Amino acid sequence: MTDRKFYKTVFKVTVLSEEPLGNPDLEQVNHAITEGDCSGVVTVSEALELDGKQAARALYDQGSDPSFFRLTSKGEDDE
């Protein structure tokens, strides 16, 4: 098992608009609330410290791979 720490932060973005936004990406949402005609606020809804095993699982849950953080599928350092 690795001694490294990892962090999972979940942000909640609330946007008020006069028209439906559809399915914008983060860059488009940022533009809409900072330069466009939408009002928005970003809050942290969850902040967790993860160990290697939890980080490996979280990466799989995102459709990524533990190798992104140089971890094995068991959350151990991949040297």
Per-residue pLDDT of 19-69, as tens digits, reads: 999 999 999 999 999 999 999 999 999 999 999 999 999 999 999 999 999
CB-based contact 55:73 (threshold 8 Å)? no
Report the C-alpha gap between 70 and 72 in whole angstroms: 7
pTM over 0.85? The answer is: no
User: Could you tell me if residue 26 is inside a domain?
Assistant: yes
- Number of structural domains (the chain) is 1
User: Could you tell me if residue 55 is inside a domain?
Assistant: yes
Range of the domain at 45: 6-69
